[in-house]
Amino acid sequence: MKEHEIRPSKLLYRYLELSVQDADECFSDCRKSTIPCVGCAGTDLAFQFEKNGFPYSLCKKCGTLFQSPRPPFEAFEAFYRNSESSRYWAESFFPAVAEARREKIFKPRVMRLSNLCNTKDISVKKIIDVGAGYGIFLDEWRKFDPDVIAVAIEPSQLLAEECRNKKFEVIEDIVENVQDYDGFADLVVCFEVLEHVYEPLTFLLTLKKLVRPGGYLFISTLCADGFDIQVLWEKSNSVSPPHHINFLSKNGFKILFTRAGMNKLDFSTPGLLDVDIVRNSMKQAPELRKQHRFLNELVNDEKHGQVFQEFLVENQLSSHVWIISRKTN
């Protein structure tokens, strides 16, 4: 898989342009407050950089990179409800790549996650997808298991309607407002949402409530320790405020899940795009090629780049993280 197949540059740069505009229009008058680390709750922080008017800090205790000082929750809530970049993602960006992502991301994701469940002897009769988007993951999971009871939680009216069109039970709301589903699911999944949320611990505890005792919670997100984020840092397109505001480290994830009372943490980084992302960024930025001459040679050699990507996966050094954890009885 290549980055352009799931994030065509024309669509991506338009989305990033709109994000910059929204950062100014939605947050320019907001007060910002320093917050503790979103992973370990530590307060010994080091300023790293500012992007789109949003400062980012690094936790000296666990290595988590996160946006702080942070505007209030209400500002983010209004941003996701009204912003041009959020609308563009839902109405233009994702529809253009939906089927490519089905083939490149969602089908392999279902296969890998189902194999993981088989390995751990996890019986999935009820599944909830939080932030279900277009419902493609649940659609592919249902092909794998037609008898599964599948619930989509999706706050976007447009995306919730897409899930209804696929005949799923849909809760059109943010997960924090969901009621009557406590202890419902054998497996709760949440793909690429944690990097967006205002309070990761509160969010994680909310997801945990949906899991039955002995059931499992699965999350995929971005990791500060990953290769492309470490190399590109503030120049990374993944660091795209106001959207992506949390990049926990491996240690930060472990502490966060412990704080949430989840155990038996299974941590992996099955990412496929770190090398390609760095390669594409270096093509766009001559200063990066000068700063990282050895890496530039490495990532631009197709054979060496593939071997290096496999090395990153095997050593938990990709920026794309999978975490599965069990809710105790």
Q: What is the pTM of this model?
A: 0.94
| pLDDT score for 328 | 83
Q: Please report which confidence band the pLDDT of residue 157 belongs to, taking 50, 70 and 90 as the band edges.
A: confident
Tell me the CA distances in angstroms from 329 to 121, 201, 262, 263, one per residue in order.
16, 20, 11, 11
- Residue range 233-286, pLDDT digits in tens: 999 999 999 999 999 999 999 999 999 998 778 999 999 999 999 999 999 998
Helix (H, G, I), strand (E, B) or coil at 219: strand
| pLDDT score for 158 | 87
* Cα end-to-end span (Å), the chain: 40
**Stretch 7-13: mean pLDDT:** 95
**Stretch 298-304: mean pLDDT:** 94
With a cut of 80, say whether residue 231 has pLDDT above it.
Answer: yes
Distance CA 141, CA 106 (A): 9
With a cut of 90, say whether residue 174 has pLDDT above it.
Answer: no
Both tokens assigned to 313: 């996966």
Q: Which domain holds residue 38?
A: 3-326
Distance CA 78, CA 64 (A): 26
Q: Which residue has the tokens 């233009």?
A: 92
Count of beta carbons in the 10 Å neighbourhood of residue 121: 6
Q: Decide the pairing of beta strands 126-130 and 65-67.
A: unpaired
CATH number, domain with residue 195: 3.40.50.150
| pLDDT score for 220 | 97
Q: Please report which confidence band the pLDDT of residue 60 belongs to, taking 50, 70 and 90 as the band edges.
A: very high
Q: Please report which confidence band the pLDDT of residue 59 belongs to, taking 50, 70 and 90 as the band edges.
A: very high
| pLDDT score for 28 | 87
Overall domain count for the chain: 1
| pLDDT score for 34 | 96
**Stretch 180-190: mean pLDDT:** 96
- Residue range 66-124, pLDDT digits in tens: 999 999 999 998 998 889 999 999 899 999 999 999 999 999 999 999 998 998 888 99
* pLDDT, mean over the chain: 95
Give exposure, 228-241, as e/b (b: 16+ Cβ within 10 Å).
bbbbbeeebbbbbb
Residues 6+ apart with CB under 8 A from 275: 227, 228, 299, 305, 306, 308, 309, 312
